[in-house]
């Protein structure tokens, strides 16, 4: 792993870490980083950029930003030989996990290199909220979703706080680019599920919904681009249904160990989808 930390050490202690996972994002990464740097806060924050061995100009652009903003950006260039394969496919999981391990803030946010933030007060609003609500483990907000046909729609979120009991039947809320969560990941990062489950954002959500309450905020904070080559959308229907069923079993085995939650969290639905995909309706 190559890092710019030794050249440009960040001396201030950040209260929030923004983890950016980027690969083949030369068209988008500058907009992403500009949107993060534009955040207006009364506290220090850091931007951790994990560049995953792109063959386009992504690394070059990231280098330029890291040199221009040495007090904000920590750039990590991942060695492709460290890529983790899940179900036979190389993924960005190593990069994702190493970004989380590098985070020094009290709270963590995520933004993929092809997405960006649209509200300059996102960090401040969510930081204030988590400070004021110590029993909330994760907060999310509304976002703009660019669909496959390039049209955009706002995905609204209701202002509410969900209790752990309510969350048992919910397997995901919002979009990961809108989240802020507590940097309380030690037990998760050493859990075998992070090397087995195909969707790390779903793993994070399953983990945080047993750590405390989860809250929604109505303001719009990010722009999420549809990615047809993503790990989920590039799968055939039968593979996707199988993997969704499998991830809920992983949640049971490695996270909650609650048999009731296993069969109320959507597992039965995904098993049914899997069987229909194999045998037809």
- What CA–CA distance (Å, rounded) separates 136 from 208? 9
**pTM of the entire predicted model:** 0.89
Q: How many CB atoms lie within 10 A of CB 9?
A: 10
Q: H helices of 148-199, where?
A: 164-167, 186-189
CATH number of 2-234: 3.90.550.10
Containing 46, the helix (H) or strand (E) segment is strand 45-51
pLDDT tens for the 281 residues of the chain, in order:
445 443 344 557 999 999 999 999 999 999 999 999 999 999 999 999 999 999 999 999 999 999 999 999 999 999 999 999 998 899 999 999 999 999 999 999 999 999 999 999 999 999 999 999 999 999 999 999 998 888 999 999 999 999 998 998 888 999 999 999 999 999 999 999 999 998 999 999 999 999 999 999 999 999 999 876 555 544 577 777 778 778 877 888 898 777 665 555 555 555 555 555 555 55
pLDDT at 217 (0 to 100): 99
pLDDT at 251 (0 to 100): 85
- What CA–CA distance (Å, rounded) separates 21 from 14? 19
Contact, 76 vs 1, CB < 8 A?
Answer: yes
Return all residues near 257 (Cβ < 8 A) that are at least 6 apart: none
Query: CA angle at residue 187 from 182 to 190, to 5 degrees?
Result: 125
Q: Could you tell me the two tokens for 90? A: 């190389």
pLDDT at 262 (0 to 100): 57
């Amino acid at each position: 792993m190559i890092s710019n930390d030794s050249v440009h050490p960040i001396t201030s202690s950040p209260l929030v870490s923004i983890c950016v996972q980027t690969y083949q994002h030369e068209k988008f990464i500058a907009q992403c980083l500009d949107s993060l740097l534009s955040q207006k806060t009364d506290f220090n924050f850091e931007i951790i950029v994990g560049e995953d061995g792109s063959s386009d100009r992504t690394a070059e652009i990231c280098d330029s930003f890291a040199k221009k903003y040495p007090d904000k950006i920590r750039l990590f260039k991942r060695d492709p030989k460290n890529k983790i394969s899940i179900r036979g496919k190389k993924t960005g999981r190593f990069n994702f996990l190493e970004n989380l391990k590098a985070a020094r803030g009290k709270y963590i946010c995520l933004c993929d290199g092809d997405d960006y933030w649209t509200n300059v007060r996102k960090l401040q609003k969510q930081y204030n909220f988590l400070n004021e609500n110590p029993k909330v483990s994760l907060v999310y907000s509304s976002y703009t979703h660019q669909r496959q046909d390039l049209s955009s729609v706002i995905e609204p979120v209701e202002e509410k706080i969900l209790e752990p009991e309510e969350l048992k039947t919910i397997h995901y809320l919002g979009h990961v680019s809108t989240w802020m969560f507590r940097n309380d990941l030690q037990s998760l990062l050493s859990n075998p599920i992070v090397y087995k489950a195909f969707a790390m954002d779903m793993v994070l959500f399953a983990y945080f919904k047993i750590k405390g309450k989860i809250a929604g905020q109505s303001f719009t904070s990010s722009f999420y681009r549809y990615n047809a080559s993503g790990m989920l959308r590039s799968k055939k229907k039968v593979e996707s249904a199988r993997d969704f069923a499998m991830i809920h079993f992983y949640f049971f085995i490695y996270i909650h160990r609650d048999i009731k939650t296993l069969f109320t969290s959507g597992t039965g639905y995904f098993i049914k989808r899997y069987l229909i995909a194999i045998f037809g309706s």
